[in-house]
Chains A and B, each alone.
Chain A
Amino acid sequence: MNTLRVGWIFFKVGVLNELQYRVNFVVQLFQSAIALVVGLLVLALVYSHTDELNGWSRSELLCVLGIQILMGGAIKTYIQPNMMRLIEDVRDGKLDYALTKPEDSQVLVSVREVRIWQVVDLVSGSVVLAVGLADVSAGVGALDALAFGVALLLGAAMIYCFWLVIATGSFWIVNMWHAVELFDGIFQTGRWPVGIYPGWLRYSVTFLVPIAFAVTVPAQAVTSRLEWQTLVLAAVFGVVLLVFARWFFRFGLRRYSGASA
């Protein structure tokens, strides 16, 4: 409970802080619009040469695109800014300020930042998803919707774990900036159902960087092609990752000696 309360307070302060910079909203709107238009153009281009891609119809891929934008928005609103701050703080020795507070340090480093204008992507992703769904012939049952919600949450949790592990790496390697560029590039694989990738890449973006769980699995849920085994696998893998990430973070903390002190 206390965790949620702390998270909520940080969230409120973060939002108030961001609301000062309103022009950023317009900038974000513009950038999101460009990214969306490009995404739609690519889909149009692909489906001008084919009717289906590896068994996925155009409107089903629209759902994938929507979920990818949505998840990307969630990552950039919350996960990435916090983890970037963690990497920075370790380098500058400012992590002391978080560690000396009487609260779980993993919780603290995970909730300190929020980029509220990225919400634009949450909205536009949802709209794209809705438009895609309206055209999906099978329709979405209540069970599908539930599975979608669960899969989305699990996916977000796994991406968080992935980021925490990467950011924890900064206890050993000072310059983790490049990890961000790498991630941004690899996250684009989520635009397409992972089934199209060759084996090595498919496994990498499933278990090494859990993009398949974050985007493809929820998309499978809303297009009625999700098997329950996949969801169970996602749940088990998600729990394993959460435990591992927590252990790894504490393991890394032991190496931290503070640079400012």
Chain B
Amino acid sequence: MSVRAQTEVLPLREPGRLRSLVDLYLTTMRMAVQEQFQYRTANYFYMLGMIAEPVIYLVVWTTIAEQQGGSVQGLTVGYFAAYYIVWTLVRNMNIVFGAPFWEYRIREGDLNRDLLRPVLPLHYDIAYFAGWKVVVIVLWIPLAIGLSLVFDPLLDPRPLEIAVFAVAIWGAYLIRTMFQEALGMLCFWTTRGAAIFDLWMTTELLLSGRLVPLPLMPDWVQDISRFLPFQWAFFFPIESLVGELSNEELLRGLGAQLLWTLIGLAIFRLAWKRAVKRYSAVGG
């Protein structure tokens, strides 16, 4: 080709990098979709096993609401049904490359291979689990229909709420990914991270809205959770679809999700730099 063509190609190097990263994401996601779709029965069993938890919460709070004439703290029976049905999707979006897997990755020596690649393992994790989510969402739809027939949810979202929800479930996914990956860095320092991960999960359970819609929590708990990432990965996405948030609250929620994703990412990067320096290969 001519000289002119070459000089035109040169400035493209940066966009090229971006393009290959996009390519990596798309390919990994496609791979994950194909791989996980093969295990659809296993995936379904897993999802069914997770349904018991929200159904129990739902029944308990429905019972209390009915005893008190139809609502608890202004939350109606129909609201609870909608909340815990949408819960099942958000819970699935919250499944990411968990911190405990870092221990496995280090112990088994998988990290050696990952370090040889020209991109951070983080990219691969985000892409792979995101692809998996596509399968999960498809499998979730019949489940949600079934639950809706049984529990009669009160769901009447505006178009904007649906749009925000569609974005917010991915925001939830990113927040949880960042914090789990950051937490996983502990595995470079200790082999007994499990205790900390358990504590973290429990805090998450209580403060995220997974256990109950946050308005049912005592005020001081709600105050604390306002300053933590957990509710933006759980309560907010559900509430964006089920609740009566104003446009401003919806957008502010998305902003909070972006903020917490970046904070998580920053913590991860800081820890990762130190962690890799500490790392000495085990196994091969």
Contacts and interface: CB of A to CB of B under 8 A. Distances in A.
B60 to A, nearest CB: 6
A30 B199 CA distance: 10
A184 to B, nearest CB: 7
Contact of A45 (B42, B52, B212): B212
Nearest to A176: B45
Contacts of A50: 64, 67-68, 72
Contacts of B52: 185-186, 188-189
A189 B68 contact: no
Interface in B23-49: 42, 45-46, 48-49
A27 interface: yes
Interface string A177-208: 01101101110110110001110110000000
Given A50-B68, A50-B72, 19 more contacts: A34-B202, A45-B211, A46-B64, A48-B218, A49-B216, A50-B67, A53-B67, A54-B63, A175-B42, A178-B42, A178-B45, A181-B45, A181-B46, A181-B49, A185-B52, A186-B49, A192-B56, A196-B59, A200-B150
B205 interface: yes
A45 B205 CA distance: 13
Interface residues of B, number: 32
B163 to A, nearest CB: 32
Interface in B203-224: 205-206, 211-212, 216-218
A200 B151 CA distance: 12
Interface string B62-101: 0110011000110000000000000000000000000000
B34 to A, nearest CB: 20
Interface extent on A, as a size class?
20 to 34
24 contacts: A34-B199, A34-B202, A45-B216, A46-B64, A48-B218, A49-B73, A49-B216, A50-B72, A53-B60, A54-B63, A175-B42, A181-B46, A182-B45, A182-B48, A184-B49, A186-B52, A188-B52, A188-B53, A189-B52, A192-B56, A192-B60, A196-B59, A196-B63, A200-B150
Given A41-B206, A54-B63, A175-B42, A185 B53 contact: yes
A201 B55 contact: yes
Contacts of B51: 185
Contact of A30 (B64, B68, B198): B198
A216 to B, nearest CB: 14
Contacts of A178: 42, 45-46, 49
A38 interface: yes
A104 B56 CA distance: 40
A179 B48 CA distance: 10
Interface of B: 42, 45-46, 48-53, 55-56, 59-60, 63-64, 67-68, 72-73, 150, 194-195, 198-199, 202, 205-206, 211-212, 216-218
B60 A46 contact: yes
B60 A196 contact: yes
A50 B216 CA distance: 12
Contacts of B49: 178, 181-182, 184-186
B145 to A, nearest CB: 16
Nearest to A178: B45
B206 A192 contact: no
Given A45-B216, A49-B72, A54-B63, A189 B56 contact: yes
A182 B194 CA distance: 23
